[in-house]
Structures are given as structure tokens and as C-alpha cells.
Amino acid sequence: MLLFKQFTFDSAHFLPNVPLGHKCKEMHGHTYHLKVWLEGDLHPELGWVMDFAELKAVVKPIVERLDHKCLNNITGLENPTCERIAVYIWDNIKPHLPLLVKVELHETPTSGVIYHG
């Protein structure tokens, strides 16, 4: 069974490696929408894959590390593309969530990435 939990955070960034004149070269911000997906079997007694509260307890500190920050100032996110942010999130939560199967990150309502690790 697949389950997911959604999170939202606001961050600023710029993309240092794009050509001069590219709009993302300048500092700007996004309201990111994150979905963390887990896959596992239903617990026979509890009837869930994982308690949503436990899932939130793992992911929330990572989201708080990114929320209302300039992402370029975070080690590992010096070039904070949506793709690299998704990998960063995966790398920071996978050790604590072995059932993690994908991270879905939207930087706008119409643009985002899905990372399967």
C-alpha cells in the first residue's frame, strides 16, 4: 500500500550556474509543496502502514531546516534546483524512513520533480 503526507515550506534561492540574463539567476522565492511517499504492508492490528504522526516527526525537522531560508546557504544546496532539493530531502529522511519510495516536490503549481532515490 502507498501512503503519502504533504508538507509546505517557503524558501528563497537563486541558481548560480545558469547563464547571465536567466530569470532564475536572481534571488527569488517559492512556496514548495512536498509529498513524501511510503510503501509497505498494513499492520495486522493497527491497520496502517505507518502512523502519520511518526512520519511527520521525521520529515518536519528537515522541512524546518529549509523553511524561510535562503537555500543557497545550506550545505549541499549551493545550486538549489528543484531536483537537487528533492535529492537533499531524500538523503536526509531515507535513513529514518526505510519505507520511503519517492519524494515529490513542486516549486510552482505547474512545475516539479519526482525522485525515487
Total-model pTM: 0.95
Would you state the pLDDT for residue 36? 98
Active site residue 24: yes
Is the distance from CB of 37 to CB of 93 less than 8 angstroms? no
Task: Give the tens place of pLDDT for each residue, 18-34.
Answer: 999 999 999 999 999 99
Active site residue 68: yes
Which structural domains are found in the chain, ordered by start? 2-30+51-115 (3.30.479.10)
Active site residue 64: no
Task: Give the tens place of pLDDT for each residue, 62-93.
Answer: 999 999 999 999 999 999 999 999 999 999 99
Q: Look at strands 100-108 and 28-39 and give their pairing.
A: antiparallel
Question: Which amino acid does the sequence have at 52?
Answer: F
**Active-site entry in 64, 68, 83, 116:** 68
CB-hemisphere CA count at 13 Å for 13? 25
**Active-site entry in 30, 82, 106, 107:** 107
Would you state the pLDDT for residue 83? 98
**Active-site entry in 22, 24, 28, 43:** 24
